[in-house]
Amino acid sequence: MDVVVIGAGSWGTALACVLTQNQHRVTLWGRDAEQLADMARTGENRRYLPGLKLPPGLAFAADLHAALRALPQGEPSLVVSVVPSHTMREVMLSVADVLPAQALVVTASKGIENQTLCTMMDVLHQTLPSHLRERAAVLSGPSFARETAEGQPTAVVVAAPTRPVAEQVQQAFQVATFRVYTSDDVIGVEIGGAVKNVIALACGMAEGLGFGFNTRAALITRGLAEISRLGSRMGGNPLTLAGLAGMGDLVLTCNGPQSRNRTAGLLLGQGKTLEQALGEMKQVAEGIKTARSVHDLARRIGVEMPISEAIFRVLYEDRPVRQIMSDLLGRPPKHELG
């Protein structure tokens, strides 16, 4: 299959490696033509995955429209969007008119738009031509980019409105070390993938304050309760949030040293300002923007999410991290399943 991966960050590069391993003809696009030229020359993504050798069959394109126009008409192809969630609407609007009629369109971005409160699949449905909306899917799950690109065993889930589309995407990505499960619970998969980044910020802040594993375990467990409440209220299946896109991704992002959101929270917990924390990071921590969306969405539909609310107050109301953690612990006692 001919494939275009939109986004040459760490995760876009990792998925391009997986797809190339599956014998697809893969082209990787990024905004920075100089970075792409360096990748083609050195065989590495030295900016985001230094030291990792890219597969020799991987191609690079600085012109996204040209890359998409080169996809074959009348036969299946694959377009994978791996741009930051806050840029996906702009990118997909710019290319909607050149997408082939038989393309499968997959978003591997995790987030919820500010203002609109749209998930990434909502964005696809609003930007894609009508004939492609049923050919859209979302890929999520516990998967650090470097480990995925290195071929370490990884399991993810792809969700689509119809089983045939989910199964086609599954077949496109499935390789010996990258196991893909299917789901029809699009909203559950998306909410799990987006909100876990906010909980990971909380875990990082707690670690930065010097708190240990008891605190982290409490935040992960109660964070999952928040994610499940929101996902269920929006029509998702609670069992989805106990799976790869929920608990699996939450555990990885809250614990792994490669987690951008945990790292951002750690820096904030150590006393850095948000500007200072972002200045020390090379990549986007999606949870920072998503925290505002989750706060607004929870308020709109009446879902109690105290951890997410606390992170919003730290990021957007300049509340002290230590005071917020004390406020969480000082909430009135309640029944665990209430």
For residue 221, which phi and psi values (nearest 5 degrees)?
-70, -45
Domain of 268, CATH number, reads: 1.10.1040.10
Q: How far apart are CA 319 and CA 270, in angstroms?
A: 14
pLDDT number for residue 314: 95
Q: Is residue 168 part of a domain?
A: yes
Look up 196 and say whether it is catalytic.
yes
Q: How far apart are CA 124 and CA 88, in angstroms?
A: 9
Is 7 in the same domain as 138? yes
Work out the burial of residue 300: count CB atoms within 10 Å of its CB; fewer than 13 is exposed, 13-18 middle, 19 or more buried: exposed
Q: Is residue 50 part of a domain?
A: yes
Q: Is residue 337 part of a domain?
A: no
Residue ending a domain, choose from 135, 153, 184: 184
Selecting among 53, 110, 196, 334, the annotated active-site residue is 196
pLDDT in tens, the chain (338 residues): 999 999 999 999 999 999 999 999 999 999 999 999 999 999 999 999 999 999 999 999 999 999 999 999 888 999 999 999 999 999 999 999 999 999 999 999 999 999 999 999 999 999 999 999 999 999 999 999 999 999 999 999 999 999 999 999 999 999 999 999 999 999 999 999 999 999 999 999 999 999 999 999 999 999 999 999 999 999 999 999 999 999 999 999 999 999 999 999 999 999 999 999 988 887 888 999 999 999 999 999 999 999 999 999 999 999 999 998 888 888 899 999 87
Q: How far apart are CA 337 and CA 295, in angstroms?
A: 22
Instruction: Give the strand pairing for 103-107 and 136-140.
Output: parallel
Residue ending a domain, choose from 169, 184, 199: 184
Alpha helices (runs of H) in 32-162, residue ranges in sequence order: 33-42, 64-69, 88-95, 120-127, 145-149
pLDDT number for residue 29: 98
- In which domain, by residue range, is 131 found? 2-184
Is 135 in the same domain as 62? yes
Q: Is residue 335 part of a domain?
A: no
Is 283 in the same domain as 162? no
60: three-class secondary structure by DSSP: strand
Q: Is residue 251 part of a domain?
A: yes
Give the total number of structural domains in the chain: 2
Quote the DSSP letter at residue 29.
Answer: E
Q: How many helices (H) and strands (E) does the chain have?
A: 16, 10
Q: Is residue 194 part of a domain?
A: yes
Of 54, 75, 73, the residue nearest 5 (C-alpha) = 54
Is 317 in the same domain as 299? yes
Alpha-carbon distance values, 109 to 34, 39, 106, 139 (Å) = 23, 22, 9, 8
pLDDT number for residue 141: 98
Do the Cβ atoms of 232 and 240 come closer than 8 Å? Answer: no
Domain of 138, CATH number, reads: 3.40.50.720
pLDDT number for residue 329: 83
Question: What pTM did the predictor assign?
Answer: 0.95
